[in-house]
Amino acid sequence: MDNSHSQFGGQSKIRWLIEKTSEDWVNLAISNPMEILLDHAHCERKAAGVALQLMFRYVSEPGLSAVLSPLAREELEHFERVLSILNSRGRKLEKLVSPPYGAILAKNIRKDEPRRMLDSFLVAGLIEARSHERMTLLSIHSPDLELRNLYSDLLKSEARHFGIYWRLADERFDRNTLTSRLEELAKVESDALVEMHQEPRMHS
């Protein structure tokens, strides 16, 4: 697995992800566009929360807030954009049962520093990479033009966010430590999707 950031130029080059998303997921997602949209709104809200949480946890870490603050703002803009489409289609931000994905990844973040910081960056980056991959699929396969446009706009940011978390890790940890831990967590990430949650979700 070659994980260098420079590899991450195009949509098919997400080297972080061990397993590609299945066709079954794509079919389930495009047959349930409103549920995916609602879940997507929650994902953007949570992505903003993760960036803020890291910024607050490592408040004195040089260079971190300067990167994570605009990232959190951008995720909130995504949230607002998805929310406005939901509202325009007569839906609100209803509660939704989350798939086990996020909890499984969170459980694999080690508790002791600095390993906690490394794992937190890598897990956040993996989620961004998966979001990017899935939005790319939706931007191609969704039969709904407004949604295709939404996903194709947002996926570019998710690619950049993946790069941001990679750089945050790469600036602070040696490359061998980073890549070997990334491989372990990438396996956890792909396995978390194997037992597919029955409900249509961005990360089921």
In the complex, which residues of this chain contact Fe ion (CB under 5 A)? 44, 47, 75, 78, 128, 158, 161
Contact 204, 134 (CB under 8 A): no
Instruction: Say which residues have a Cβ less than 8 Å from residue 39's Cβ, sequence separation at least 6.
Output: 96, 200, 201, 202
Shortest spacing between CB 60 and Fe ion, in angstroms: 25
What is the identity of the amino acid at 126?
Answer: L
Choose between 70 and 114: whose C-beta lies nearer to Fe ion. 70
Instruction: Say which residues have a Cβ less than 8 Å from residue 119's Cβ, sequence separation at least 6.
Output: 108, 109, 110, 181, 185
C-alpha closest to that of 54 among 172, 185, 179, 182? 172
Choose between 45 and 115: whose C-beta lies nearer to Fe ion. 45
Shortest spacing between CB 144 and Fe ion, in angstroms: 19
Shortest spacing between CB 150 and Fe ion, in angstroms: 11
Choose between 161 and 201: whose C-beta lies nearer to Fe ion. 161
Residues 126, 8: Cα–Cα separation, whole Å: 13
Choose between 81 and 172: whose C-beta lies nearer to Fe ion. 81
Choose between 78 and 181: whose C-beta lies nearer to Fe ion. 78
Which structure tokens are listed for 16? 């972080």
